[in-house]
Structure 1
Amino acid sequence: MDALLFDMDGVVVDSEDHWHPAEREDLLPAVLAGEVPDVGEITGMPYREIYAYLDANYETTVSEAEFVDRYDETAAGIYQERVELLDGLSGIRERAREAGVPVGLVSSSPPTWMGYVLDRFGLAFDLTLSNDQVPGPGKPEPDIYEAAADRLGVEPSACVAVEDSRNGSLAAQRAGMVVVGYRVDHNAETDLSACDVVCAGSEELREELLGRLTG
C-alpha cells in the first residue's frame, strides 16, 4: 500500500458505542415526529447531511440549526470524556512509519470533533481530513477518499481504508481503494459487503494491517 487511511468514528475511537444509544434514545426522538430510522441508515454520514436526509425522508420537528447544536453538544461529551482509543493503533502507526507509508484520518465528523480526539490522545497523522474540508457530498460518495489520496499524492487504488459503516465502506470502495472492514459489537449487523476483507475485533484488524504493511 502507498497510504493507510482510518475512519475515526467506530474505528480509531469507539464513539459509535456512545453515539448509537444517544441517537436512538435522545437525539432522533427529539428531532423527529413519528417513525425514527435505524441508526445504520445515517452512520458514517456528515451530520449536517444527516439533517437533510432526515428532512427528506422523515418528519423533522426542529430547524437545522437546532439539530446541529444538539449534535455538537453531545459530541463534546462523547469525545472529550467517554471514548477509548483503538487497541493496537500506536503499533500499526509505528510499523507504517517504518515502511514509509503515510497514515491518514479521514472522517465525516467536523474538524472540531476530530480535534477533540487528536488533543485528548495526543495523536498526529500525516493527513487529517474532515468532510467539511472537501467540496461535494459526504460518504457514501467517494469525494473525501479521492481528496485524501490526491493530497497524499498517491493513487486511490494503492490505498487501504479501514471502515466500520456501510456508508463509509461504500465511499472507499467507490474511490477504488482496498477496504478493510472493522466488525465489533456496535456494527454486528451492519452491511459491510463493500469491504474486501472484514476483521472481527482489534486483534484481527492489527494482524491484517501489519501483514499488509510488511508485504
Structure 2
Amino acid sequence: MTAVLFDMDGVLVDSEDYWVEFEREELLPVAVPDADVDLAEVSGMNFREIYDYLDEEYETAITREEWIDRFEAFAETLYTEHVDSLDGLHDLLAELDDRDVPTALVSSSPHDWIGLVLDRFDLAGAFDEVISADEIEAASKPAPDVFEYAASEVGIPTEECVVVEDSENGIEAAARAGTIVVAYRIDAHGDIDLSPADVVVDDAAELREEVLRLAG
C-alpha cells in the first residue's frame, strides 16, 4: 500500500512566487542588510527557524518578534487573497481516495496558515492527515523528521510513501526519509538541485500523472 504526502507551499498552492518576492525584496534587506543570502538556503524551512539560521550565520538586524510579525501579517493576506490552488487538485485527491490511498498535507508552515488554505479552497477533510512541522518536535527540512513523522501517522512505511515537494530542502528531506520523491519544478526556485528526486515534473498535469502512476 502507498501513501502520498503533499507539501503545501509551491505544490498545493502557488505561494512560492509571492514568498520569494516578499523575502527577497522586503524582508531580507531589513533583516540581514549586509548579507547576500541565497533563498535556496532557507526555502522549505519553518519561518521561525529561518530567523535562527540567519541570526547564527549572518547576524540579524531586527528582533525575532519583528520577523515573526512581518511573516504573519504577510501570510494572512497571501493565503486569503492571492494564491491559487494546484490545477486539478480536487480531482487528484478524489482519485487517490477512490483507490484507498492515504494522503497527508505536510508543511513547515504553522497550522493557522494551513487552515487558511484549507478553508479557502474547500479542502477541509480532503486529507487523511494534516501535519505542521511547527507543531511537532521535528528538525526543519532538510532534516527528514517531518516526513518520517507523517509516514508514521498514515501508517505506511516511508519507503512506500510518495512525497511531492518543490524546494531543495524539501526534496532533500524527503529523500533522506527514504520516500519516493516527486520534485515539482517551479520558476520561483530557479536552478536548484533536483538530483535527490526519483521523478521531476514540470506542470500540474504531469504531477497528477506521476502521482497516480506511483500510487497505483
- Corresponding residue number in structure 1 for 2:66: 66
Q: 1:25 & 1:188 partners in 2: Cα distance?
A: 16
- Corresponding residue number in structure 2 for 1:184: 186
- Corresponding residue number in structure 1 for 2:25: 25
Give CA deviations for 1:127-148 in whole Å, capped at 9, x if unaligned. 1000112213111101111110
4+ long deviations beyond 6 Å:
none
Change (3 A) 1:25 1:136: same
Give CA deviations for 1:65-99 in whole Å, capped at 9, x if unaligned. 11111111111111111000001211211111111
Q: 1:195 & 1:97 partners in 2: Cα distance?
A: 25
Q: 2:175 & 2:81 partners in 1: Cα distance?
A: 33
Q: 2:161 & 2:97 partners in 1: Cα distance?
A: 15
**Residue number among 137, 140, 155 corresponding to 1:138 in the alignment:** 140
Structure 2 segments unaligned to the other structure (5+ residues): none
Q: 1:207 & 1:155 partners in 2: Cα distance?
A: 23
Structure 1 segments unaligned to the other structure (5+ residues): none
Q: TM-score, normalised by structure 2?
A: 0.96
- Corresponding residue number in structure 2 for 1:195: 197
Q: Does the 8 Å contact 1:165/1:191 carry over to 2?
A: no
Q: TM-score, normalised by structure 1?
A: 0.96
State the SS of the aligned residue for 2:12. coil
- Corresponding residue number in structure 2 for 1:54: 54
- Cα offset, 1:113, TM superposition: 0.8
- How many residues are treated as equivalent by the alignment? 214
- Identical-residue share of aligned pairs (%): 50
Q: 1:159 & 1:54 partners in 2: Cα distance?
A: 32
One-letter amino acid matched to 2:113 = W
One-letter amino acid matched to 1:70 = R
Q: Does the 8 Å contact 2:3/2:162 carry over to 1?
A: yes
Q: 1:158 & 1:28 partners in 2: Cα distance?
A: 38
- Corresponding residue number in structure 2 for 1:12: 12
